Amino acid sequence: MKILGIESSCDETAAAVYTDDGLQSNIIASQAVHEQYGGVVPELASRAHHKTIWHTVQQALDEGNTPLAQIDAVAVTQGPGLMGSLLVGLCFSKGLCLSRNIQLVGVNHMDAHIYANFIDEQPEYPFVSLTVSGGHTQLVHVSAPFEHELLGQTRDDAAGEAFDKIGKILGLPYPAGPVIDERSQYGDPNFHDFPQAMLDNDFEFSFSGLKTSVKYFLEDQDDQEQFLEDYLDDICASVSHAITEVLVKKLRNAIEHTGVETIALAGGVSANSMLRRKANELASETGCKLHIPKLAYCTDNAAMIAITGYMMAQRNMFSDMKMKPFANLKALERMNV
């Protein structure tokens, strides 16, 4: 079986080919147009997807040595994401399927982050995934393929969103997660004790208070600019410490609650070096086997869509041409009622 995967939920236009022999290609066209705005501008994102998608798909087919005529199904991100961006990927994929008379698979982007762990490794079920992206922070118990139980999620900002918003306060470019990660390596994580919220709750998260706390901490300084110049690395390290401590503590709760022997990290924030290190320590302490996708499969990519589509196609989980995109998980719930 040969699957073409297409991802267009946010600001990356991506395509990949996954076959019985594994991943054949993985192409990403990132959109530089948003940099000057300090965040993703939805209308510009859809226009950029529209411009780039055909070329990106062609490149994935070429590099994967798989002509379109050999593709059995197109797997495309159905949601969650920006509605205009999702529509570009969905309409393009439906057109391709109709013209070639091939099957369509609608992929949940959050599931795909989890199954990115299967590109290079074979995690054993059941496992718990800590899925941490720009839009979501979730603890998911995966008992079998596509059998997911949501243990808990964030009540406000996602972990990636916290990194990005705090980065903005610190004057760092968007997305700030990777920059804070980099600077943290030169700083002291105990420089300042930022709040770790909701430790009394087993599986739910809250990160919006941390952002406010960083803002007040800076406002308390006499010369903010000088303070940032002197201590930016230490502030970054302390922020990373606060976020990753909470994530790993809740992951520990989930291991204890479910009794799993396998854990996985997923999503853009799983690229974070402090989180990867602490998750490794947790795994050795608890005797769990830890899976973390390689860096290229942590942040948004089409390889994860293609492999998830492949796994869904194996289980006959195809979609029809009426498939609609969903912007958020609440909308998905409504669609499934």
Alpha carbon distance 250, 320 (integer Å): 38
115-154 residues near ligand KG4, rule: CB under 6 A: 133-135
Binding-site partner at residue 234 among Zn ion, ligand KG4, none, CB < 5 to 8 Å by type:
none
| Least gap, CB of 181 to ligand KG4 (angstroms) | 4
Give whichever of 4 and 12 is closer to ligand KG4, judged by the CB atom: 12
What is the maximum span of the chain, computed from C-alpha positions, in angstroms? 67
Helix (H) or strand (E) holding 25: strand 22-30
C-alpha–C-alpha distance, residues 298 and 28, integer Å:
13
Which residue in the set 7, 111, 157, 164 belongs to the binding site for ligand KG4 (CB under 6 A)? 164
Of 111 and 300, which CB lies nearer to ligand KG4 in the complex structure?
Answer: 300
Contact 302, 28 (CB under 8 A): yes
DSSP letters spanning 124-182: PSSEEEEEE-SS-EEEEEEEETTEEEEEEEBSSS-HHHHHHHHHHHTTPPSS-HHHHHH
How far is 89 from 83, CA to CA, in rounded Å? 10
Query: In angstroms, what is the minimal distance from the CB of 133 to ligand KG4?
Result: 3
* Count of positions on this chain that bind ligand KG4 (CB under 6 A): 19
* Residue 135 binds: one of ligand KG4, Zn ion, none (C-beta under 5 to 8 A by kind): ligand KG4
Residue 194's closest CA among 176, 177, 218, 224? 218
Tokens of 240: 């990373």
**Residue 7 binding ligand KG4, by CB under 6 A:** no
Q: How far is the CB of 46 from ligand KG4 (least distance, A)?
A: 16
| Contact by Cβ (8 Å): 137, 272 | no
Out of 48, 181, 236, 241, the residue judged to bind ligand KG4 by CB under 6 A: 181
Segment near ligand KG4 (CB under 6 A); pick from 148-156, 175-183, 279-287, 307-315: 175-183
Footprint of Zn ion (CB under 5 A):
133, 300
Task: Please choose, from the candidates 10, 15, 78, 81, the residue with its C-alpha nearest in 3D space to the C-alpha of residue 39.
Answer: 10
Please report where in the chains the tokens 């999620």 appear, as a residue.
153
Which of Zn ion, ligand KG4, none sits in contact with 163, Cβ below 5 to 8 A by type? ligand KG4
Residues between 248 and 287 that touch ligand KG4 (CB under 6 A)? 267-269, 271-272
Contact call for residue 178 and ligand KG4 (CB under 6 A): yes
25 is an interface residue for ligand KG4 by CB under 6 A: no
**106 contacts which partner out of Zn ion, ligand KG4, none, CB within 5 to 8 A by kind?**
none
Name the residue whose CB lies closest to ligand KG4. 268
- The label of the residue with tokens 């990949």 reads 16
Contact residues for ligand KG4, defined by CB under 6 A: 10, 133-135, 160, 163-164, 175-178, 181, 267-269, 271-272, 299-300
